Amino acid sequence: MARKKISLIGGGQIGGVLAQLCALRELGDVVLFDIVEGLPQGKMLDIAEVGPVDRYDVNLKGTNSYEDIKGSDVVIVTAGLPRKPGMSRDDLIEVNSKIMTSVAEGIKAYAPESIIIVISNPLDAMVTLCQKITGFPYNRVIGQAGVLDSARFASFIAWELGVSVKDVTAMTLGGHGDDMVPLVRYASVNGIPVTELLEQKYGAEKGKEVMAAMVKRTRGAGGEVVALLKTGSAFYSPASAAISMAEAILKDQKRVLPTCCFLQGEFGVNGFYVGVPAVLGEKGVENIIQFKLDAEEQAMMDKSVAAVKELVGSMK
Ligand code: TXD
C-alpha cells in the first residue's frame, strides 16, 4: 500500500514540530514548504538524518515550490505570523489574510484533492478564508484549535485533582478566542463529573470558584505562553493537537475531536466556521456531533459565535 503524503505549509516553530511528529509516527511521506530559502530544506535534512536513531522510514523533503505538494492527502497550514506579547489573535488578521490567500491558491493549484487542517491565527477567520479561496467542500477544510483548548482545560483539571491526564476528558466549543466555551458540565474523570469531585474536595461554593478559575485560565492559556516566551506563541501543543486530527483522517479512525467546522444549522449556527465535536475520518469531517446545551452554555456559545462573526466580518 502506497504511503500517505502530508504537506506542511509553513516551516516555522509549529511547522518544524509537525514535520518531526509526522516522521516519528510514520504517518507518511512529508513535504515542508516555506517561502524562506533553505529553512524547510534545512529542517527536513536535520530530521531525516536522525532517522536511524528514531527509526522512521519516510521520505522527508523541504521545498520552496508548491509543485512538491502534489498528491498530498493532508495539508496542514501554519503559514502566518504568530502573536507577540500584548497582541490579540485578531491583531494578526490583516497580515495573515494576505499570506493565507497565497497559500490557499497554492494548495488549490497543486493539491486539489487534499484535506486541509488550518492552524494559522486568527484561526476561525483563516479557515474561513482558506475554504473560500480553495473552494474545497466544507468537510475538507477544517481548523485546529479545539483539540488544543480542550487539552489545556483537561490538563488544568488533572493538575488540580491530582489525577492522570490520561483519565480526564474535557472539551471546549466555539471560537478560538477569549470567549471560547469550556464545557464544565461534561468534564469528567473516567465519567465521574469534575464538578462533583471539586465539590467533594472544596465544598459547593469553593468548588465552583476553582472550576471558574480553570475556565478562565483555559481561555487565557495561549496568552499565558506568549507572555512567557515573549518571542512567539505556543508551538509544541498546537502541533501535537493538529497531528491527532491528521492521524484520524489518514488512518480513518472516526475520532470524535473538537474541530473548527463549517456549520449549516448545527448548534443554531448557519454559514460560519465554529469549534464543535466532529467525527474525523478519511473524508475529513464525516459527522458533526450535536447535543443539548443548557441555557448558560447556549449563552456562552452565542457570545463566542458572535465574536467569530465579527472577526470574519472584519476580513476585507
Ligand atoms: O492552535 C492554534 N490554532 C494556534 C495557532 C496555536 C498557536 C499558534 N497559532 C498560529 O500558528 C500563530 O499565531 C501563527 O499564525 C501560526 C504559526 O505559528 P508559528 O509559531 O509556527 O509561526 P512562525 O514560527 O513565525 O512560522 C510561520 C512560518 C514562517 O516560517 C514563515 O516564513 C512562513 O510561516 N510564511 C509563509 N509560508 C508560506 N507562504 C507564505 N506566504 C508565508 N509567509 C510566511
Residue extents of the structural domains in the chain: 5-146
Structural Rg of the chain based on CA atoms: 19
Determine which residue's CA is closest to atom 7 belonging to ligand 1: 234
- Report pTM: 0.97
Question: What pairs with residue 261 in β-bridges?
Answer: 274
Angle between helix 123-134 and helix 295-313 axes, rounded to 10 deg: 60
Ranges of the chain with pLDDT below 70: none
Q: Distance from the CA of 135 to the center of ligand 1, in angstroms?
A: 22
Atom of ligand 1 nearest to the CA of 123: 3
Question: What pairs with residue 120 in β-bridges?
Answer: none
275 lines ligand 1 (CB under 6 A): no
The whole-number pLDDT of residue 270 equals 96
Environment class of 270 (CB within 10 Å of its CB; exposed 0-12, middle 13-18, buried 19+): exposed
Which DSSP symbol is given to 21? H
Give the whole-angstrom CA distance, residue 225 versus residue 233.
6
The whole-number pLDDT of residue 129 equals 98
Which CATH number is 5-146's, of 3.40.50.720, 3.40.630.30, 3.40.50.1100, 2.60.120.10?
3.40.50.720
Residue 197: phi and psi, rounded to 5, are -70, -35
- What is the grid cell recorded at 107? 494548495
The whole-number pLDDT of residue 143 equals 98
Cα pseudo-dihedral 177, 179, 185, 186, rounded to 10: -20
The whole-number pLDDT of residue 177 equals 87
The whole-number pLDDT of residue 62 equals 98
The whole-number pLDDT of residue 5 equals 98
Cβ count near 90 (within 10 Å): 18
Give the whole-angstrom CA distance, residue 243 versus residue 229.
23
Q: Which of 90, 93, 124, 75 is nearest to 271 (CA)?
A: 124
Question: Catalytic residue at 156?
Answer: no
